[in-house]
């Protein structure tokens, strides 16, 4: 029986890193889920189009990536605006959502349910937003891997300037290693485990 694992990238799109990452994924015949921010879709509309054309899944990661708006109950417009931008530039409607920083609140859970969005957190974080070495990121992910795990990485620019070269290089290492261990990469629209809500 095939072991599945879910590779996700947050905060994009962010060029040139998103395009470089798409090449890595294509070279390895792997699909991922991109949780995108609306303001970055406006900067790089072609990037999200390319993600969808290449068979990757898209999820909403709000418009500005503000955890404070979650806590203050001001996020509904950000979610709707980003959903609209995804439809406009990618030609599809998503049902996937990830909150900035994983922050949630009772009002948000109710709103997401009403919007028919499934919320996904993560199981494995390699803290690539701190820009550690590619080897550190890859080793951290591979060591923590288990069947059904959701991996959190970043192609976006929300934290520490957004240089994602080490994440791209790490992806070149960790994807073949996990494949060698028998993992199959799926997108979160194929997730059949207990959803996080």
Active site members: 10, 154
Distances (CA, A) of 108 to 23, 35, 60: 35, 17, 14
Handedness of CA 119, 58, 186, 126 (dihedral sign): negative
Block residue for tokens 């470089």? 20
What is the SS3 string spanning 69-134? HHHCCCCHHHHHHHHHHHHHHHCCCCCEECCHHHCCCHHHHHHHHHCCCEECCCCEECCHHHCCCH
Contact call for residues 5 and 148 (beta carbons, < 8 A): yes
Task: For residue 88, count other CB atoms closer than 10 A to its CB.
Answer: 12
Cα 138 to Cα 146: distance, rounded to the nearest angstrom = 14
Q: Is 26 helix (H, G, I), strand (E, B) or coil?
A: helix
């Amino acid at each position: 029986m095939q072991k599945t694992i879910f590779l996700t990238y947050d905060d994009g799109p962010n060029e040139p890193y998103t395009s470089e990452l798409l090449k890595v994924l294509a070279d390895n015949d792997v699909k991922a889920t991109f949780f995108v921010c609306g303001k970055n879709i406006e900067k790089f509309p072609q990037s999200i189009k390319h993600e969808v054309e290449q068979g990757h899944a898209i999820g909403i990661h709000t418009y500005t990536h503000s955890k404070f708006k979650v806590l203050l109950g001001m996020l509904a417009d950000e979610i709707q605006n980003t959903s609209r931008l995804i439809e406009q530039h990618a030609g599809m409607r998503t049902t996937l959502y990830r909150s900035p920083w994983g922050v949630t609140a009772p009002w948000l859970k109710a709103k997401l349910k009403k919007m028919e969005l499934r919320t996904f957190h993560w199981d494995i974080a390699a803290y690539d937003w701190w820009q550690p070495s590619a080897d550190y990121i890859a080793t951290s992910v591979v060591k923590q891997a288990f069947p059904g795990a959701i991996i959190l990485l970043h192609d976006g620019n929300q934290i520490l300037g957004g240089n994602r070269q080490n994440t791209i290089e790490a992806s070149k290492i960790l994807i073949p290693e996990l494949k060698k261990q028998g993992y199959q990469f799926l997108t979160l629209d194929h997730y059949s485990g207990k959803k996080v809500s």
